[in-house]
Amino acid sequence: MYLIAGLGNPGKEYEDTRHNLGFEVIGRLAIEHGTVLKNDRKFRAKAAKTDLGSAKAVLLSPQTFMNLSGQAVKAAADYYKIPAEKVVLVYDDIDLEEGRVRIKIGGGSAGHKGVESVIEHLNARDFIRVRIGAGRPVLKEASDHVLSRLEEDKRDVFSSAINTAALAVVEIVANGPEAAMNQFNGV
């Protein structure tokens, strides 16, 4: 079983922002695989169990704020006895060009507070990451950039990236992270 956790911030004011790209991927996966995310108090998250191809998975959108995402990820991983190597974290990355999707195993947080929280709470770095390029801000602070609403002319780019990231997650679950890296990292 895999735990697929998409990072974001709860609340209407954060919808349609770069920082909620992880939530968008989880939502897309839930719809495509015929399940509904429901509030789960024990995880402080929206969650659903589903089949992604031939494997079982838990979809998770932490309802803590970004900086506390690790609490929900840890609670779900512990409850379902999912090791860090089977945790897939989906999140925005300002060090990637807008809309680009990259998969990697392990590493640091690169200053992403949600990833820092997951590393801290799992006490591990070897989870799988699906990073969606949010682009580096030109005239704004990084936090203002990721928390501002998507510009109308960027919606298609990010919609495509959300779709690609969802396909990458399915490939990770079906054939492993290396196969997904080979398929998606060169694009």
- For 137-180, what is each residue's pLDDT tens digit? 877 788 888 888 888 888 999 999 999 999 999 999 999 999 99
Q: Is 19 a catalytic residue?
A: yes
The reported pTM is 0.95
- Residues whose CB is less than 8 angstroms from the CB of residue 187 and which lie 6 or more positions away in sequence, other chains included: 101, 164
| Mean predicted confidence (pLDDT) in 17-44 | 96
Strands in 101-105's sheet, in edge-to-edge order, are 38-40, 45-52, 55-62, 2-6, 87-93, 128-133, 101-105
Confidence of residue 185 (pLDDT cuts 50, 70, 90): very high
Cβ atoms of 52 and 29 within 8 Å: the answer is yes
Number of domains the chain contains: 1
Q: Which of 19, 112, 121, 145 is catalytic?
A: 19
- Residue 11 is encoded by which pair of tokens? 């609340």
- For 52-89, what is each residue's pLDDT tens digit? 988 999 999 999 999 999 999 999 999 999 999 999 99
Range of the domain at 36: 2-184
- Residue 145's CATH number: 3.40.50.1470
Task: State the chain's mean pLDDT as an integer.
Answer: 94
> What does the DSSP assignment read for the chain?
-EEEEE----SGGGTTBGGGHHHHHHHHHHHHTT---EEETTTTEEEEEEEETTEEEEEEEE-S-GGGHHHHHHHHHHHHT--GGGEEEEEEETTS-TT-EEEEES---TT-HHHHHHHHHHT-S-SEEEEEE----SSS-HHHHHHSBPPGGGHHHHHHHHHHHHHHHHHHHHH-HHHHHHHHTT-
